Amino acid sequence: MAPPHRERSEPFENGCICIICVMVKILRDKIIDVLKREDYGVTVNVKGWVRTRRGNKNICFIALNDGSTIKSVQIVADLEKFSEESLRKVTTGACLSVNGILVESPGQGQQAEIHATEIDVLGEADPATYPLQKKGHSLEYLREIAHLRPRTNTFGAVFRIRHHMSMAIHTFFHERGFFYFHTPLITASDCEGAGQMFQVTTKNLYNLKMDEKGSIDFSDDFFGKQASLTVSGQLEGELGAMSLGAIYTFGPTFRAENSNTPRHLAEFWMIEPEVAFNEIEENMQLAEDFIKYCVKWALDHCQDDLEFLNDMYDKELLQRLNSVIAGEFVRLPYTKGIEILEKAVADGHQFEFPIFWGADLAAEHERYLVEEHFKKPVILTDYPKEIKSFYMKQNDDGKTVRAMDVLFPKIGEIIGGSQREESYEKLKQRADEMGVPTKDIWWYLDTRKFGTAPHSGFGLGFERLMLFVTGMANIRDVIPFPRTPRNCEF
> Which residues, numbered 131-190, are part of the site for a copy of itself (CB under 8 A)?
131-132, 146-148, 150-151, 155-156, 159-160, 162-163, 166-167, 170, 174, 177-189
Site for a copy of itself, residues 82 to 101, rule: CB under 8 A:
93-95, 97
Which one of residues 5, 16, 26, 28 is an interface residue with a copy of itself (CB under 8 A)? 28
Q: Give the Cα-Cα-Cα angle 199, 204, 209 (nearest 5 degrees).
A: 95
Q: Angle 462-470/303-312 helices, nearest 10 degrees? A: 70
**Closer CB to a copy of itself, 99 or 166, in the complex:** 166
Site for a copy of itself, residues 103 to 122, rule: CB under 8 A:
122
**Site size toward a copy of itself, by CB under 8 A:** 113
**Closer CB to a copy of itself, 228 or 320, in the complex:** 228
**Closer CB to a copy of itself, 258 or 319, in the complex:** 258
Burial classification of residue 202, based on how many CB atoms lie within 10 Å of its CB (0-12 exposed, 13-18 middle, 19 or more buried)? exposed
Q: Does the protein bind a copy of itself through residue 328 (CB under 8 A)?
A: no
Please tell me the distance from the alpha carbon of residue 428 to that of residue 437, in angstroms, as a whole number: 10
Cα distances (angstroms) measured from residue 221 to each of 158, 225, 282, 401: 40, 6, 44, 39
Minimum distance from residue 284 beta carbon to a copy of itself (Å): 11
Residue 100 β-bridge partners: 44, 116
Please tell me the distance from the alpha carbon of residue 201 to that of residue 168, in angstroms, as a whole number: 36
Which x/- pattern, by CB under 8 A, does the window 256-295 give for a copy of itself? x-x-------xx-x------xx----x--x---x------
Q: Does the protein bind a copy of itself through residue 449 (CB under 8 A)?
A: yes
Give the dihedral sign, CA 258/262/267/273. Answer: negative
Minimum distance from residue 339 beta carbon to a copy of itself (Å): 29
Q: Does the protein bind a copy of itself through residue 129 (CB under 8 A)?
A: yes
Q: Are 338 and 351 in contact (CB under 8 A)?
A: no
Which one of residues 444, 457, 458, 477 is an interface residue with a copy of itself (CB under 8 A)? 444
**Closer CB to a copy of itself, 357 or 490, in the complex:** 490
Q: Stretches 99-107, 233-241, 321-329, 388-396: which one binds a copy of itself (CB under 8 A)?
A: 233-241
Minimum distance from residue 2 beta carbon to a copy of itself (Å): 14
The dihedrals phi and psi of 116, each to the nearest 5 degrees, come to -65, 135
**Closer CB to a copy of itself, 100 or 412, in the complex:** 100
Q: Are 75 and 90 in contact (CB under 8 A)?
A: no
Q: Does the protein bind a copy of itself through residue 452 (CB under 8 A)?
A: yes
Of 416, 441, 415, nearest to 428 (Cα)?
Answer: 441
Which one of residues 2, 101, 244, 330 is an interface residue with a copy of itself (CB under 8 A)? 244
Minimum distance from residue 160 beta carbon to a copy of itself (Å): 6
Which one of residues 254, 290, 383, 458 is an interface residue with a copy of itself (CB under 8 A)? 254
Of 290, 282, 376, nearest to 330 (Cα)?
Answer: 376
Q: Give the Cα-Cα-Cα angle 141, 143, 147 (nearest 5 degrees).
A: 115
**Closer CB to a copy of itself, 304 or 371, in the complex:** 304
Minimum distance from residue 194 beta carbon to a copy of itself (Å): 10
Of 209, 188, 191, nearest to 199 (Cα)?
Answer: 188
Which x/- pattern, by CB under 8 A, does the window 40-69 give for a copy of itself? -------xxxx---------------xxx-
Of 133, 112, 153, nearest to 30 (Cα)?
Answer: 112
Q: Stretches 133-141, 337-345, 397-405, 442-450: which one binds a copy of itself (CB under 8 A)?
A: 442-450
Listed in sequence order, the residues at least 6 apart from 114 whose beta carbon sits closer than 8 Å to its beta carbon are 34, 44, 46, 73, 74, 75, 76, 98, 100, 101, 102, 103
Please tell me the distance from the alpha carbon of residue 387 to that of residue 339, in angstroms, as a whole number: 18
Q: How many CA atoms lie within 13 A of 37 on its CB side?
A: 25
Q: Does the protein bind a copy of itself through residue 239 (CB under 8 A)?
A: yes
Q: Does the protein bind a copy of itself through residue 437 (CB under 8 A)?
A: no
**Closer CB to a copy of itself, 413 or 422, in the complex:** 422
Please tell me the distance from the alpha carbon of residue 249 to that of residue 236, in angstroms, as a whole number: 10
Minimum distance from residue 421 beta carbon to a copy of itself (Å): 13
Q: Residue 12: left if φ>0, alpha if ψ -120 to 50, beta else—which one?
A: left
Q: Stretches 337-345, 409-417, 430-438, 451-459: which one binds a copy of itself (CB under 8 A)?
A: 451-459
Please tell me the distance from the alpha carbon of residue 54 to that of residue 52, in angstroms, as a whole number: 7
Site for a copy of itself, residues 332 to 351, rule: CB under 8 A:
none
Please tell me the distance from the alpha carbon of residue 34 to that of residue 14, in angstroms, as a whole number: 10
**Closer CB to a copy of itself, 58 or 204, in the complex:** 204
Cα distances (angstroms) measured from residue 173 to each of 87, 198, 388: 50, 30, 27
Site for a copy of itself, residues 184 to 223, rule: CB under 8 A:
184-189, 198-203, 205-206, 208, 216, 222-223
Q: Does the protein bind a copy of itself through residue 461 (CB under 8 A)?
A: no
Please tell me the distance from the alpha carbon of residue 336 to that of residue 374, in angstroms, as a whole number: 13
Q: Stretches 326-334, 356-364, 408-416, 438-446: which one binds a copy of itself (CB under 8 A)?
A: 438-446
Q: Does the protein bind a copy of itself through residue 325 (CB under 8 A)?
A: no
Which one of residues 98, 114, 227, 379 is an interface residue with a copy of itself (CB under 8 A)? 227
